[in-house]
Amino acid sequence: MPREKIDLPYSVDYLSILDADGSVDKTLEPALPEDLLLRMHRVMLLNRRFDERMLHLQRQGRIGTFALTTGHEATFVGSVAALRSSDWLVPSYREAAAILWRGGSLENFLLYFGGYDEAGWVPEDVKNLPISIPVGSQTQHAVGLGWAIRSRGSDEVVMVYFGDGATSQGDFHEAMNFAGVYQTPVVFICQNNQWAISVPRSRQSHSRTLAQKALAYDIPGIQVDGNDVLAVHAAAVEAVERARTGGGPTLIECVTYRLSLHTTADDPKRYRDDAEVAIWMKRDPLPRFQNYLLAKGILTESKLAETEEAIKTEIQEAVDRAETRMKEPVDPLHMFEHMYAERTPALEEQRDELSRELAAGKGDLSHG
Amino acid sequence: MAKMTMVQALNMALRQEMEKDDRVVVLGEDVGVNGGVFRVTEGLQQQFGDQRVLDTPLAESMIAGFSIGMALYGLRPICEMQFSGFSYYAIHQLEAHASRLRHRSQGRYSVPMVLRAPYGGGVRALEHHSESREALFAHIPGLKMVMPSGPRNARALLVAAIRDPDPVVFFEPKAVYRAFREEVPEEEEVLPLGRSQVVREGDDITLISYGAMMHPTLAAADELKEKDGVEAEVIDLLTVSPLDDSLFTQSVRKTGRAVLVHEAPRSFGPGAEVVARIVEKSFWSLEAPIRRVTGYDVIFPLFAREGDYLPGAARIARAAREALSA
């Protein structure tokens, strides 16, 4: 009865293709079509400019609190671009870029963060779940979707997003465990942006990588440079293919950085040094990818200026549409919609009650 | 018609719905090979296979969250919490997601799942195995909370819960599981959710209860008739949320007196909601203060004292006499 080493064939790869200095590992560089590369770039840029504009709007009191996404563009775009439109996207609350990639409307973002429930609507032909705010909880739905997909004999894949903080939640571990047991076609994308509000990655987990958490469940785990859109995409393509062909789930840890605030209610100066931010600014995924495309001649300075201009217009038009909508009177009774397939008697009574209140208080701007 | 226990009746509901609709999936801890610790899912895995009846890893939150994902894809998951005392892990998923996704997606998605759990005392069980915490679920907008009282209504309500387009929490009174048999028809029988029933008519006082407590309540009604010549009207809520107040408020307008019975703790319990509805809708007919016969606001005692904690026929009859003499 000896004591011996159990030989577990486990290790965690780290993948980087395009580094912060713009040098490319030619052996790993994927041969992606130009239109795909340009589309990735456009959505990354759109996301960045939209984030900046939303911050201004929030500071001016024109929309409410939202989670900023600047700095995460490569992680979100690189991964979501590996999906087909028939696949499922299960976001947390920071993946604007992934939602924009799948045709999400800027106007709906503005309305949602402007306080309109109506903007939670997901078009019938888009297989996105609504954003999920309780950290890590959405990982469980992804695995349920994945199980259902396999049970119906379909080859759809589910991609679920969460941050480094979510890896401390039990929900995440339960989801990984079920995904392993049932070999569900789920790609877990951990955007490790180093900070869960004020708690640094080092205080979130003693694990040297977050990717290695997959190994406990006998799921492949890989760590990638999350600011390198080519590396994220390559890892995601591999994981999506594995999931689609019956190979089960994968955990991809994308090492990135939250260059901006957690949400508009956050003040990072309370907990992190500017010097650290400055280091990560040099690793910014957007100029890195832009320079790569410029160097390859896929993008030109004039084309870039054109794209900037088109994005500016697109955002302005969305802001105009959203603000026009926000100036229209709100129907307070809308809150009673979609609670159940059929409104309950108590809801009917309460709806009537609010209706009477509104009639009695006509012109009273205090809303009760 | 066969005479069945509630366990057998629930099993029949599951089996028949699984036969009719291949989207119906049963999952939970020990529900497959073992047929559930109370045998409610007995034989289902043998009949439908392990792709329809899943023995899951032990994680109540995930069982609920997993079911939500299945339901979003269009399946009809029925998940079992082995005891309601362990269902609190699942409350987060029910509150944050199952109850909200229809509204949050503005009708694009719905979560047609059933979360079944045995609840309640009276079976000399361990700690965490006897509580009655339906108020926790009934307080969550977007959920439905159903609590049958006998084999026949359990079967007919479970069928309705499985077919319901919204998430339903289905609490099964384990004290009733094998306590008695009832005729349950083999052919389909569905009781709509959100409807209470008058199970005994009377003009003198209204007794309102649900779940396992229906039985001491009915026994109290018998005693009141035999010993006092009092005709009690007895109402079985069947669904705690959405609460059907039409019958009990109407009954109180006739009797002027009411006693509410549940084994859940008194404060903020379903009884408080029932009393509020009576006060709002039948106040001018009241002839006496409404009485609540309930569990106390204490940790459910270990079983040496559970008989003192749980409402019984004598306590209910005493409360009724007080209401009658006021």
In a domain, B243, yes or no: yes
The pLDDT profile of chain A, 368 residues, written as one tens digit per residue, is 889 999 888 899 999 999 998 899 999 999 999 999 999 999 999 999 999 999 999 999 999 999 999 999 999 999 999 999 999 999 999 999 999 999 999 999 999 999 999 999 999 999 999 999 999 999 999 999 999 999 999 999 999 999 999 999 999 999 999 999 999 999 999 999 999 999 999 999 999 999 999 999 999 999 999 999 999 999 999 999 999 999 999 999 999 999 999 999 999 999 999 999 999 999 999 999 999 999 999 999 999 999 999 999 999 999 999 999 999 999 999 999 999 999 999 999 999 999 999 999 865 555 55
Residue with tokens 């995460």: A72
Query: Could you give the number of structural domains in chain B?
Result: 2
3 state DSSP class of A22 = coil
In a domain, A193, yes or no: yes
Note down the domain range covering B53: 2-184
**Cα(first)–Cα(last) distance of chain B, in Å?**
45
Class of residue A261 by CB neighbours under 10 A (exposed 0-12, middle 13-18, buried 19+): middle
Q: B71 and chain A: CB distance < 8 Å anywhere?
A: yes
According to the model, what pLDDT value does residue A363 have?
56
What gap in Å lies between CA A165 and CA A194, rounded to an integer?
9
What gap in Å lies between CA B211 and CA B176, rounded to an integer?
9
Q: How many CB atoms lie within 10 A of CB B86?
A: 16
Q: Domain of B49: which CATH number? A: 3.40.50.970
* One domain, residues A308 and A343: no
Catalytic residue check, B92: no
What distances in angstroms separate CA A326 from CA A118, A316, A368, B100, B325, one per listed residue?
12, 15, 20, 24, 60
Closest CA to A141 of B36, B171, B104: B104
In a domain, A321, yes or no: yes
Put simply, the chain B residues between 105 and 134 with a CB less than 8 A from any chain A CB are: 105-110
What gap in Å lies between CA A273 and CA B154, rounded to an integer?
61
In a domain, A368, yes or no: no
* One domain, residues B123 and B228: no
Note down the domain range covering A339: 332-361
Tell me if B105 and A120 make a contact (CB, 8 A cut-off). yes
* One domain, residues B167 and B201: no
CB A338 within 8 A of CB A117: no
* One domain, residues B121 and B228: no
Please give the model's pTM, rounded to 2 decimal places: 0.97
CB A293 within 8 A of CB A262: no
Q: How many CB atoms lie within 10 A of CB B186?
A: 9
What gap in Å lies between CA A163 and CA A226, rounded to an integer?
12
Query: Could you give the number of structural domains in chain A?
Result: 2
* One domain, residues B275 and B143: no
Give pLDDT tens digits for B222-263: 999 999 999 999 999 999 999 999 999 999 999 999 999 999
* B92's tokens: 């987060």
Q: Pick the catalytic residue: B97, B129, B215, B262?
A: B129
Closest CA to B209 of B130, B255, B274: B274
What Rg do the C-alpha atoms of chain B give, in angstroms? 19
CB B155 within 8 A of CB B189: yes
ipTM: 0.96
* One domain, residues B239 and B211: yes
Q: Determine the average pLDDT of the residues in B47-52.
A: 98
Put simply, the chain B residues between 168 and 227 with a CB less than 8 A from any chain A CB are: 194
What residue type is assigned to position A49 of the chain? R
| Set of chain A residues whose Cβ sits within 8 Å of the Cβ of B92 | 134, 137, 171
CB A188 within 8 A of CB A178: no
Tell me if B66 and A123 make a contact (CB, 8 A cut-off). no
Query: At which of B184, B213, B234 does a domain end?
Result: B184
Closest CA to B234 of B268, B198, B261: B198
* B58's tokens: 């032990």
Residues contacting A328, CB < 8 A, separation 6+: none
Q: State the DSSP string of A258-292.
A: --S-SBTT--GGGTS-HHHHHHHHTT-HHHHHHHH
Q: Domain of B292: which CATH number? A: 3.40.50.920
Tell me if B107 and A142 make a contact (CB, 8 A cut-off). no
